[in-house]
Chains A and B, each alone.
Chain A
Amino acid sequence: MPVLHHADPGNAASSAGAQTLVDALLDEQRRLTAVEAFARAHERHEIVEPHYRKLLPASAPRPGEQYAFEVDLDKCSGCQACVTACHSLNGLDDGEAWREVGALFGEALVPAVSSLFTSASAGFTSNRVVPLQQIVTTACHHCVEPGCLEGCPVLAYDKDPVTGIVRHLDDQCIGCSYCILKCPYDVPKYSATRGIVRKCDMCHGRLAVGEAPACVQACPNEAIRISVVSLAQVKATLLGVSGGAGEKMGNRESETVSASLSHPPTLSLSHLPAAWLPDSPSPSITLPTTRYVTKKPTADLRAADHSLPKPQHPHWPLILMLVLTQAGIGGLLASRVVGTKSLPLELASLSLFFAGLTASVFHLGQPLKAWRVWLGWRTSWLSREAMALNAFAGAATVAVTARWLPPLTNYYSLITSAVATAALAAVFAQAMVYADTQRAFWSLRHTAPRFFGSTLVLGLGLALAFQPTAPLAIALLLAMLLKLACELSVLKHADTDSERWTQLRRTAALQTGALRPVLGVRLLSALIGGVVFTFVIASGGASPALVFAALGFCLLGELAERYLFFTSVAPDKMPV
């Protein structure tokens, strides 16, 4: 490469010799000049005359009231500034969002004289169908009966008695993610790097000093405001106790919706079809306080993915925890009930049970704080599950070791009763953990047969493995067939011609669609291990290899069943 001659007296750098132009420019590039050149002498440190005054309530909530978000859907244009402003002004992690923006689509039949489309339909003389889309911004709804708070096993949520703001105590959280399942709106978000969930706190510190929350400050269209709502009215509206759907939610601020809206409203708000969004979780579960205001006919709108269920997270530690603890419980119960009292069977059962408990630890983001897991026992089924499992662990350990502790051998039946009671309580609590999330597929009707069924099937399987007998084999065969029948009953929801997709229809669609291979594994394992092999065993063909193979296939089948349990749940959700 020939070196070029730079005859360039115009540039000081080249004549300076010591420093080339490249170096000079690189030096200059590294100097930050904004402050030195433009340092703005900000005398004022207070916000002068904030623009968001009218978006805040006139005063703090009084007893029986709380703060709430109010979203004017007719002003929300989908710019999503609220999401990014919240992200920046609250210093959230990369990609972390406490607010989300979704959309609903559809059509509505608009009468020629509809106020909203009066001008639009001037050229028309009859009713017509117009396409609609509605952008929806959502954050935490600071519910009257927060699911997250009720479900939290360690009291890491607090609903402020005065403001009603539902806060998350980040340093109390053990990262069990149960609140994510409990919240119908998918509000708490788990951070893998931090091992905890975090969520919207309505910028409570800002509100306390008269500043608006970040999203309220940042909405260019003034579509989000903070209002004060009456808890009784929220309840009445959302539970339909009085007033019905037409009743507006308890908002004690006067309607200032039209003050800055470009179109003169002619429909009064009392004619609103509903106080809640279409195609979203039922507000009766947790009584969300956010109020959505619109004059558009939005009742028939649907999210774009309304008919597009996606498999949910499998939660492998939970799959292992549930299946293994239920196997252990079942094995020990079988040993006691059938009366074999086989030491290998009981030790194997105990091992499986503790392996299951250990697996659950891997589900936690902050396992060292997990010792507080009982704190929420008053409302949290997760706390109760943990307590029942621990009770079982204690009783079972005593029961198994009692044979070497002579004084205890006299209390055999008492100990066994304790084990059985703890066992039933534990499995029931396990089922209630999921039933309490109010997801259709996780209702007790679906969860209890699965959980108790696993306990039974795997218990019999264990017993059979260690003491193969024909009656045991037949019992297992029948139990397995019964369980499969219960499980498959959900598939009857698959075929409907309706446009509406229920939760169970989505579950059925998932199991027969994206999750079909898993369902195949589940059925095949159950049939091989629980039906074919048990039939052979019952017919007198028991061999150690066969009985353990039967147990192995049953276990695999239950793991697959539990995988389906977690991945094919299809809760209603906010529009995305």
Chain B
Amino acid sequence: MMSTKLSTQGRKDATAQSQEELCDSAPLRLGVESSSAANTLFRHWTGPLTADLVRTPGEFGLGQVPARLKPDATTTMVCGFCSTGCGLNVHLKDGQAVNLSATTDYPVNLGMACPKGWEALTPLAAPDRATTPLLRHPKTGRLEPTDWDHAMQVFTLRFKAIMDQHGPESVAFLSTGQICTEEMAFLGALWKFGMGALHCDSNTRQCMATSAVAYKQSFGFDAPPFTYADFEESDVLVFIGANPCVAHPIMWQRVLRNRRSPEIIVLDPRKTETAMAATLHLPLAPKSDLALLYGVAHLLIQNGWVDKEFLAAHTNGFADFAEFVRQFTPDAVAAQSGLTVGQIYRLAESVKPGKRVSFWWTMGVNQGHESTRTAQAVINLALLGGHIGKPGTGANSITGQCNAMGSRLFANVTSLLGGHDFANPEHRKKIATTLNIPESVIPMKPSLAYDQILDGIAAGKIKGLWVIATNPSHSWIGRGEERGRPRPQHGLADVGVRAPQAGLDTLFAQLDFLVVQDMYHTTDTTQRADLVLPAAGWGEKEGTFINSERRIGLVKKVSRAPGEALADFHIFRLVAHYWGCGAMFSEWTSPEAAFQILKRCSAGQPCDITGIEDYRHLDREGGIQWPWVEQGLGSGVSGLGNGAPPQTPYARPHPPSHRRLFADGQFFTPDRKAKFLFDLPREAADQPCEKFPFILLTGRGTSAQWHTLTRTGKSDILRQLAPSELLLELNPDDARRLRLRAGDTARVASRRGELTARVHVTATIRPGQVYLPMHDAATNRLTFPAFDPHSRQPSYKFCAVSVHRTDKEARR
């Protein structure tokens, strides 16, 4: 029965070493098929029920698959949830996706996927897909089906009427990091150049605005420098406000593949899954991160633990920074962060020059009231040690959404197509020429940011809103109404902190016209729309995403959209046509045609992708990281990693699968030097008080949940992997004091709203803090709308709440 040649070896020989040898001897045959017999009267080994689970070789390099789902072709496309950008091998039958598995030869995920990726096809088949345009009936007030022609006429008529009456600044759109780059670019160009509107923003404001601004100010361009290979190449990995075990499991996979026995340091108020797996967890007080990072910088400088050569050659502002951080003495920082002086020394010692040190941050940093300076404090630490441009180094922002990077570079929202500047005459001219449009249609003025657009609605200035593939009615911060309370005294006068907005429902009710374009007609926001445009989803259309490590990956059409749902790209074509500006977009006939336009826009920019031929090229290479420059087009792009000297010609037939930026220390600022940027920390608004004594932290619940659950909530198996109720993490000491036990119902209230949640007593949350996942729409009734003054990103990670037993619990 045993056909392996090693199977005859003795027990002691079957060591790890012989297993290694075994790996070279293919194919491995464990060679024992489980017993199985023919059916008898009394015992049935096979039959129709058994047949349902029969597995068969899937071919196409797949291994065994369920026999009834055996594909006749496979194709690889990039996942549509988070920014990791995993390659998914879609199993096709007659061109239609029937199943999927993780792609083993994709350079990002190496054959792995998280639960969302495994279940990526399931949400497409949900019964609540929007299948026709829906128009709110003026009499019944209900959304009723209509056809595309009518929907587009209403769309055009209503938006034009508003703009005619109130001017071009009376309308806005709120878009997403979840649609393809080509679609974002089309939308931004159509809105600003074709329709003559100005204000627009996207939910990337809630997730990556801080990183974008921080990089742009420090490096001269929004350029995350790293590649995922850096996870494997580091000696010291510092995670700041990041929980990749749950939020980016496939990045954590790369950490575990690190063979250098790295030190893993996690800065997080909670003992998260990642903190559990770390070698050092520093449970700093919420929002003490900026002071702590400055304190570490102070220790590094004080002890001479800096890369002086690098600082002199490649940075600006070091002297001022050194002077600035002197006030952040270990004692002061220890008092503020709740860490010991020893822990702070320990952290500083770990990140001093000499080892490969990489810093990784995500929403714990980005979603803060002084997030840009915090992100730059991380960048500053990397600069101090010269930890940039070398393998296993970098100040690295882990992105959130699958195409946040595409949005940052090509959405035409905050920067002109391709990371250009709306106000720069040269950039305007270049884009006008590239797109063959008059320069006059390119607005000079910047758009309002997300929160300012909502303020505009509140002030009655913005009357028409188009929401595309996002769900602000669930996700927007501080949706509760501040009730009869004077504005808090502390901090509110500061930049970026305002009185809380009215609830979003109230705001949307003030609009003359709300259009929501979404896959589902059931989202919190869709329910409030005047017009619903049914969109095809990921897998039902083509385009590209750009992941955290700047890799451009392909989305393919492997499933039919239900009913009359159309790809967002097609919807934008329709809008252009009905608006009467179709001629301006005559070249935007397909996503791939748009990709060619975007290539031209990127020429000469740090994100130059002119070296990418077409979609097939991306497909062949397993995605290509930017920059990838056409042969002969040098431009200002600098430093490719993997030890390649900077003078190496960039364009080769096969781009190396992992490249990092700044190997030559040349940044994208005018003087090619990175900047030290810093500000004094400010106290967060909405501090705890006697009445609201707890600090509420929010974030991801489980790896099976994505944002507002409009997609992951449609998969039975993903729902099963997440708690069925809203859980409040509460420290055992606090629980004892409040006489709350595990499983009790607690009322959690902030100055803006309240909710009830099931109590989960755990020491992983510190006393005085509580944690709620963001996946329940109620959570943002509590959060406080503070914004970083530079990035205008909302601060989801800090507000004061009270926790009480509900009346029911009190009776017990």
A: residues with CB less than 8 A from B are 1-11, 13-14, 20-22, 25-26, 28-40, 42, 44-51, 53-54, 56-61, 74-75, 77-81, 83-85, 87-91, 94-97, 101, 105-107, 119-120, 122-124, 130-135, 155, 158, 160-163, 165, 167, 169-173, 194, 196, 198, 201, 203-211, 217-222, 252-256, 259-264, 304-308, 372, 375
Q: Find chain B residues with CB under 8 A from A57 CB.
A: 14, 30
User: Could you jot down 5 A-B contacts, CB within 8 Å?
Assistant: A25-B573, A59-B14, A87-B118, A163-B34, A261-B256
Q: Find chain A residues with CB under 8 A from B4 CB.
A: 58-60
Our pick among A11, A81, A158, A263 for the contact of B112 (Cβ within 8 Å) is: A81
Our pick among A35, A90, A120 for the contact of B279 (Cβ within 8 Å) is: A120
For A25, A79, A119, A211, the residue with the greatest tally of chain B CB atoms inside 10 Å of its CB is: A79
Would you call B434 an interface residue if the criterion is a C-beta within 8 Å of the partner chain's C-beta atoms? no
CA distance A473 to B585 in the complex (A): 95
Our pick among B6, B65, B95 for the contact of A59 (Cβ within 8 Å) is: B6
For A6, A196, A198, the residue with the greatest tally of chain B CB atoms inside 10 Å of its CB is: A6
Proximity string of chain B (246-272) to chain A, C-beta cutoff 8 Å, 1 when within and 0 when not: 100110110111110111100000010
A10 touching B280, Cβ below 8 Å: no
CA distance A388 to B256 in the complex (A): 58
For A32, A48, A96, the residue with the greatest tally of chain B CB atoms inside 10 Å of its CB is: A32
Our pick among B27, B48, B342 for the contact of A46 (Cβ within 8 Å) is: B27
CA distance A108 to B255 in the complex (A): 26
A91 touching B52, Cβ below 8 Å: yes
Our pick among B8, B31, B245 for the contact of A79 (Cβ within 8 Å) is: B245
A34 touching B717, Cβ below 8 Å: no
For B59, B64, B257, B339, the residue with the greatest tally of chain A CB atoms inside 10 Å of its CB is: B64
B contact face: mostly helix, strand, loop, or mixed: mixed
The smallest C-beta distance from B554 to any residue of chain A, in angstroms, reads: 8
Q: Find chain A residues with CB under 8 A from B557 CB.
A: 31-34
The smallest C-beta distance from B261 to any residue of chain A, in angstroms, reads: 6
* Residue of B whose beta carbon sits closest to that of A34: B556
CA distance A36 to B346 in the complex (A): 57
Q: Find chain A residues with CB under 8 A from B264 CB.
A: 262
Q: Find chain B residues with CB under 8 A from A210 CB.
A: 27-30
The smallest C-beta distance from A298 to any residue of chain B, in angstroms, reads: 11
* Residue of B whose beta carbon sits closest to that of A74: B277
The smallest C-beta distance from B271 to any residue of chain A, in angstroms, reads: 5
Would you call B702 an interface residue if the criterion is a C-beta within 8 Å of the partner chain's C-beta atoms? yes
For A162, A169, A222, the residue with the greatest tally of chain B CB atoms inside 10 Å of its CB is: A169
Would you call B55 an interface residue if the criterion is a C-beta within 8 Å of the partner chain's C-beta atoms? yes
Query: A119-B279, A222-B256 are contacts. A53–B23 as well, Cβ < 8 Å?
Result: yes
Would you call B593 an interface residue if the criterion is a C-beta within 8 Å of the partner chain's C-beta atoms? no
A97 touching B556, Cβ below 8 Å: no
Would you call B92 an interface residue if the criterion is a C-beta within 8 Å of the partner chain's C-beta atoms? yes
Q: Find chain B residues with CB under 8 A from A254 CB.
A: 14-16
B112 touching A220, Cβ below 8 Å: yes
The smallest C-beta distance from A495 to any residue of chain B, in angstroms, reads: 15
Would you call B312 an interface residue if the criterion is a C-beta within 8 Å of the partner chain's C-beta atoms? no
A90 touching B763, Cβ below 8 Å: no
Our pick among B102, B274, B566, B763 for the contact of A106 (Cβ within 8 Å) is: B763
CA distance A252 to B542 in the complex (A): 50
Q: Find chain A residues with CB under 8 A from B616 CB.
A: 37-38
B580 touching A8, Cβ below 8 Å: yes
Q: Find chain B residues with CB under 8 A from A173 CB.
A: 49
For A28, A131, A134, the residue with the greatest tally of chain B CB atoms inside 10 Å of its CB is: A131
B573 touching A172, Cβ below 8 Å: no
Interface residues in B75-123 (C-beta closer than 8 Å to A): 75-77, 90, 92, 95-96, 99-102, 104, 109-115, 118-119
Q: Find chain A residues with CB under 8 A from B44 CB.
A: 169, 171-172
Q: Find chain A residues with CB under 8 A from B2 CB.
A: 59-60
CA distance A165 to B28 in the complex (A): 19
The smallest C-beta distance from B361 to any residue of chain A, in angstroms, reads: 19
Would you call B38 an interface residue if the criterion is a C-beta within 8 Å of the partner chain's C-beta atoms? no
Proximity string of chain B (155-167) to chain A, C-beta cutoff 8 Å, 1 when within and 0 when not: 0110000000000
The smallest C-beta distance from B229 to any residue of chain A, in angstroms, reads: 16
Q: Find chain B residues with CB under 8 A from A61 CB.
A: 32
Q: Find chain A residues with CB under 8 A from B35 CB.
A: 158, 160-162
The smallest C-beta distance from A142 to any residue of chain B, in angstroms, reads: 11
Our pick among A21, A90, A255 for the contact of B573 (Cβ within 8 Å) is: A21
Proximity string of chain B (696-728) to chain A, C-beta cutoff 8 Å, 1 when within and 0 when not: 000000111000000000001111110000000
B261 touching A56, Cβ below 8 Å: no
Q: Find chain B residues with CB under 8 A from A53 CB.
A: 19, 22-23, 28
B762 touching A304, Cβ below 8 Å: yes
CA distance A544 to B46 in the complex (A): 57
Proximity string of chain B (735-761) to chain A, C-beta cutoff 8 Å, 1 when within and 0 when not: 000000111000000000000000011
CA distance A196 to B51 in the complex (A): 14
* Residue of B whose beta carbon sits closest to that of A372: B42
B101 touching A80, Cβ below 8 Å: no
CA distance A10 to B579 in the complex (A): 13
* Residue of A whose beta carbon sits closest to that of B119: A84
Q: Find chain B residues with CB under 8 A from A9 CB.
A: 583
Our pick among B55, B153, B341 for the contact of A3 (Cβ within 8 Å) is: B153
CA distance A40 to B72 in the complex (A): 11
Our pick among B61, B113, B582 for the contact of A44 (Cβ within 8 Å) is: B61
CA distance A540 to B271 in the complex (A): 72
B256 touching A60, Cβ below 8 Å: no
A218 touching B75, Cβ below 8 Å: no
The smallest C-beta distance from A426 to any residue of chain B, in angstroms, reads: 24
B34 touching A167, Cβ below 8 Å: yes
B281 touching A120, Cβ below 8 Å: yes
Q: Find chain B residues with CB under 8 A from A206 CB.
A: 55, 63-64
The smallest C-beta distance from A34 to any residue of chain B, in angstroms, reads: 4
**6 closest residue pairs by CB, A with B:** A91-B66, A123-B342, A171-B47, A95-B716, A10-B586, A220-B253
Extra contacts, 14 of them, besides A88-B99, A218-B113 (Cβ < 8 A), are A21-B574, A34-B77, A40-B74, A58-B7, A58-B9, A94-B717, A105-B763, A120-B281, A123-B342, A204-B34, A208-B31, A261-B256, A263-B261, A305-B743
Q: Find chain A residues with CB under 8 A from B558 CB.
A: 32, 34
Query: A9-B583, A39-B73, A81-B249 are contacts. A171–B49 as well, Cβ < 8 Å?
Result: yes
Q: Find chain B residues with CB under 8 A from A77 CB.
A: 245-246, 249, 252, 273-274, 277
B585 touching A218, Cβ below 8 Å: no
* Residue of A whose beta carbon sits closest to that of B62: A47
For B63, B346, B540, the residue with the greatest tally of chain A CB atoms inside 10 Å of its CB is: B63
The smallest C-beta distance from A24 to any residue of chain B, in angstroms, reads: 9
A29 touching B565, Cβ below 8 Å: yes
Would you call B68 an interface residue if the criterion is a C-beta within 8 Å of the partner chain's C-beta atoms? yes
Our pick among B26, B50, B53, B339 for the contact of A49 (Cβ within 8 Å) is: B26
A51 touching B111, Cβ below 8 Å: yes
A78 touching B49, Cβ below 8 Å: no
The smallest C-beta distance from A32 to any residue of chain B, in angstroms, reads: 4
The smallest C-beta distance from A138 to any residue of chain B, in angstroms, reads: 13
Our pick among B561, B702, B718 for the contact of A29 (Cβ within 8 Å) is: B561
* Residue of A whose beta carbon sits closest to that of B18: A58
Query: A78-B273, A80-B702 are contacts. A221–B60 as well, Cβ < 8 Å?
Result: no
Query: A170-B52, A171-B45 are contacts. A33–B19 as well, Cβ < 8 Å?
Result: no
Query: A7-B580, A54-B19, A77-B277 are contacts. A205–B55 as well, Cβ < 8 Å?
Result: yes
Would you call B57 an interface residue if the criterion is a C-beta within 8 Å of the partner chain's C-beta atoms? yes
Our pick among A21, A165, A198 for the contact of B53 (Cβ within 8 Å) is: A198
A165 touching B34, Cβ below 8 Å: yes
B261 touching A1, Cβ below 8 Å: no
Would you call B345 an interface residue if the criterion is a C-beta within 8 Å of the partner chain's C-beta atoms? yes
* Residue of A whose beta carbon sits closest to that of B73: A35
* Residue of A whose beta carbon sits closest to that of B112: A220
